Structure 1
Amino acid sequence: MEIQKERFKYTLSEKSWILQDWANSAYSIMVTTAVFPLFFKAVSEGSGVSAVNSTAYLGYANAIGTLVVSLLAPILGAVADYKGYRNPMFTLATGLGIIATLSFAFIPNENWLLLLILYAVSSIGYGAANIFYDASLVDSTTLNRMDRISSAGYGWGYIGSSIPFVIFIFFQLTGILPISQSALIKGGFVATALWWLVFTIPYWKNVEQKTYIEKQPHIIKNSFLRLWKTINNVRQYRNVFLFLIAYFFYIDGVGTIFQMATAIGSDIGLAANDLIVVMMVSQFVAFPSSIIYGILAGRFGNKKMIYVGIITYTFICIYALTLDSLLTFITLAVLVGTAQGGIQALSRSLFGQLIPKQHANEFFGFYNIFGKFAAVVGPLLVGIISQTTGNSLNGVFALIILFIIGGSVLYFVEEPAREKKIG
């Protein structure tokens, strides 16, 4: 019984690490998914941009922001391995994201292009900060607790992101504040930036860089040399390489659907208030679903449960073609909520089981590179197919190819024998 109690206790560094997910996930729901896409579409279409083009431009901005992070990720990760570098780089990236998000509130509504540029900048800060955040997991907990802490980060992140979102919805629906809709939304962006800042403080105080490489001359040059060595190391492990290819494709589809959901809902004629409420429902579904995925993985294995997520998303792509009402969109959002957190948490967990533990930092850095770079193809695919066919739902359906390829490659990944853990 005492052992069971210990399994659910968190150390100070573990709590602080989890709380950082609580902090930055507010950006994820308020900016990436729900409020900003609707706000951008409203101001851009109000300036004469068509609905299809506004969705496409948002997709291009997502792709550009993610591409920048993807190209920088290898060298950023390699440099951050040196003693004393990771935390300042995390702070710089986090500050960039927070300041850009705060800036949304001060851009005139008619200047939709500048708003879109700042959105791309904020996504670069957010994405880069998460590279260092994910890497710090190895310094925040022990190896045999990593799966549990990683999953807790995803789970509590959903709850943390929902709190400012729910407050925003309350003011949105009640109208008790004597301000315009635009002012309310901009106030929401300010609140998101402050939430991100305040709840990052425990991370800054309590998560230290314990694993590192001692400083050397020519840090940039040596970082590139180490990066090349890491790439060669990955190629020596067929199982790891196959997983990264599979992950590259299916996680791209997951991220794209998350980014573009509200824009697609707007295109089929749903009201902004309805879309915001639906996204809140999706967030609340995601919290218990992430926990359930972890429990079922303990019984059936990570790989099988990842397949459950892939199959769910494949169905979502097909079901998207039928979207024509609030009810169908709610169904789609709930389906996304059931699979999103689970497939992400278990992917990170399975990768941790596949890699050689003595090279965990290098391989997890490579994992982040694949995850960030993957999110380029999907948004571009949605944008191109949407503009070509004149229907954004066709763009979502096209994502099915990413899940089919990812699932097919995952079949050849051999899941390691399970180990009993008590701590």
Structure 2
Amino acid sequence: MSSITQRKRIWGWFFFDWASQPYNTLILTFIFGPYFAQTASATLMAGGMPELAAKAQAQAYWGWGLATTGICIAILAPILGAVADSSGRKMPWIRLFSALYVIGSAGLWWTAPQDFSVLWSLFFFGIGLIGMEFATIFTNSYLPELHDDPAELGRISGSGFAFGYAGGVLSLAIMIAFFQAGDTGKTIVGLNPLFGLDIQTGADSRIVGPLTAIWFAVFMVPFFLYTRDTLKPDAPQYKLGAGFKDLAQTLRGLPRHPSMLAYLGSSMFYRDALNGMYTFGGIYAFGVLNWSIIDIGVFGILAAISGAVFCWVGGRVDRAIGPMPVIVSCCVILILTACMIISLTPTSAFWIPLAEGSNLPNILFYVAGALIGAAGGALQASSRNMLTRQANPKRMTEAFGLYALSGKATSFIAPALIALTSEITGSQRLGITPVVGLFIIGLILLAWVKPKGDFAR
């Protein structure tokens, strides 16, 4: 590692965010998610289901797919983190889950409307998401090793997220400029989809899977070139039994570290709420405001640019005053934004009827996208840095595994509550109201979190 400069290590670490972000931007939120909802609901309507019921059912399918994947991650994340911490070996796990990322995203090519299978679509989507999430856990755990001064970690975390968002912007711009067709059969810049992709088979949307896989494979090269494990002398290689034992010991010890426990609980709720906004944003725009996938893509670019700028800004604020004020401010902004979204329909804003043909709801939803990108990006970056302050520095990968567990243990709650509320109210719009309550719970639990944690150093 001595031959690799600190600057190269940091930039190599940044490139993971750049390489992996398209799974969130292109697949989870702005392209494949709406394509899945559109295709699944069309399939259901072809079978005789009414349009509103079909859209609600498609949303439910998406939610249950996310919940199932979340359960898998929740079970395995802290165990694998404990195993990696015992040996110091993280890179082999990152290579394994990087392969799953590529296989899962590339597999989304086989989701054509003509023989559409909800099960296979969610299977490939879940494989890729598991790969992305686990690779992120192990990569995040390198953060404390990137600088000797803990005060610099907030800046580094924020810059990494900003760089990742920039990658998301570029990949999304490429997708809608050269591949994704609109109602006219042309892309947003007036071109036919590249490679003669057949619009009738959804190839202009399905190409998002292979594009994301190729993007990841290419841009992970700097990470693998400049990142090295710090191995522990005479440590066992991979012993699941030892991993279970270390994890059990950590869980038993959590009550002795109330700040860490409260932070895991708080972040569990507010990150679940944020993920609910991310994962249902594109589907919401499709179902409530009747946006096209290209409209949603433009919305995604705005949100990602906002996220990139404010991750960078938030990182500097984090360095100056710490992550806690950033986290609290972002949660408040997201609560207000969610309330604004709930108030929007194609014919009203803030529950006030509008003149026929008013474009105000669309404009306000773009504003909401910018706010979600800004606050959501800064929230994630500062949350990652906050964990480095709360965790035992000797068990950092395990801590990030627990962080993933706390984020995924309740990952079914937001989708389930959104689905349940949608069914009860018969409204996709009102279906997202549970995210407001989850953000509020997260804010309340922050009252028990020490800004510098139980392991202050």
TM-score by length of 1: 0.90
Deviations 1:44-71 (A, max 9, x none): 1221251111111111111111111111
Q: Identity of paired residues, percent?
A: 22
CA 1:118/1:316 → structure 2, altered by over 3 Å: closer, same or farther?
same
Name structure 1 gaps, 5 residues minimum.
Answer: 1-8, 418-423
Question: Which residue in the other structure is 2:338 paired with?
Answer: 317
Once residues 315 and 156 of structure 2 are traced to their aligned partners in structure 1, the CA distance between those partners, rounded to angstroms, is: 11
Does the Cα contact within 8 Å between 1:66 and 1:127 map onto a contact in 2?
no
CA distance in 2, matches of 1:73, 1:355: 16
One-letter identity of the residue aligned with 2:403: Y
Task: Say yes or no: does 1:78 pair with 2:82.
Answer: yes
Supply the distance in 2 between the matched residues of 1:266 and 1:150 (Cα, whole angstroms): 33
1:99-114 equivalences in 2 (<5 Å): 99-109=103-113, 110-113=115-118, 114=120
- Hey, what does 2:286 align to over in structure 1? 266
Q: Is the 8 A contact 1:60 1:383 kept in 2?
A: no
Aligned residues of 1:249 and 1:406 also touching (Cα < 8 A): yes
Q: 1:337 offset after TM fit, Å?
A: 1.3
2:129 — aligned with what?
123
Residue in structure 2 matching 1:53, options 47, 50, 57: 57
Measure, in 1, the Cα distance between the counterparts of 2:311 and 2:74.
26
Code of the residue aligned with 2:60 in structure 1: it is A
Written as runs of structure 1 = structure 2, the 5 A alignment for 1:351-390 is: 351-390=387-426
C-alpha distance in 1 between matches for 2:234 and 2:286: 51
Q: What is the CA–CA distance in structure 2 between the aligned matches of 1:353 and 1:83, rounded to whole Å?
A: 22
Judge which range, 71-80 or 180-189, deviates more.
180-189
- Structure 2 partner of 1:3: none
Quick check: which one's helix share is greater? 1
1:283 corresponds to: 304
Indicate the residue corresponding to 1:11 in structure 2: 7
The answer to whether the Cα contact below 8 Å between 2:106 and 2:209 also exists between their aligned partners in 1 is: yes
User: TM-score by structure 2 length?
Assistant: 0.84
1:309 is displaced (CA, Å) by 0.7
Residue among 14, 22, 26 paired with 2:22: 26
Task: From 192, 198, 207, give the equivalent of 1:176.
Answer: 192
Q: Is the 8 A contact 2:8 2:226 kept in 1?
A: yes
> What is the DSSP-based 3-state SS (H/G/I as helix, E as strand, rest coil) of the residue aligned with 1:33?
helix
**Partners of 2:238 and 2:221 in 1: how far apart?**
32
Q: What letter matches 2:312 in structure 1?
A: I
In the aligned structure 2, how far is the partner of 1:217 from the partner of 1:275?
A: 46
Q: In the alignment, is the contact (CA less than 8 A) between 1:310 and 1:407 conserved in 2?
A: yes
Would the aligned equivalents of 1:386 and 1:394 in 2 still touch at CA under 8 Å?
A: yes
Write the deviation string for residues 83-121 of structure 1: whole angstroms up to 9, x where unpaired: 374222211111112111101113332323121222122
**2:158 maps to 1:151:** yes
**Aligned Cα root-mean-square deviation (Å):** 2.3
Verify: 1:98 aligned to 2:102, yes or no.
yes
Return the offset for 1:210: 0.4
The answer to whether the 8 A contact 1:239-1:414 is kept is: yes
CA distance in 1, matches of 2:141, 2:112: 38
Extract unaligned runs of 5+ from structure 2. 46-53, 179-186, 346-360
Which string of whole-angstrom CA distances, capped at 9 and with x for unpartnered residues, describes residues 360-414 of structure 1?
4443332232233343321222122222322122221111111111101112323
Residue 272 and residue 216 in structure 1: after superposition, are their counterparts in 2 closer, same or farther (change >3 A)? closer
Q: Residue type matched to 1:191 in 2? A: L
The number of aligned residues is: 410
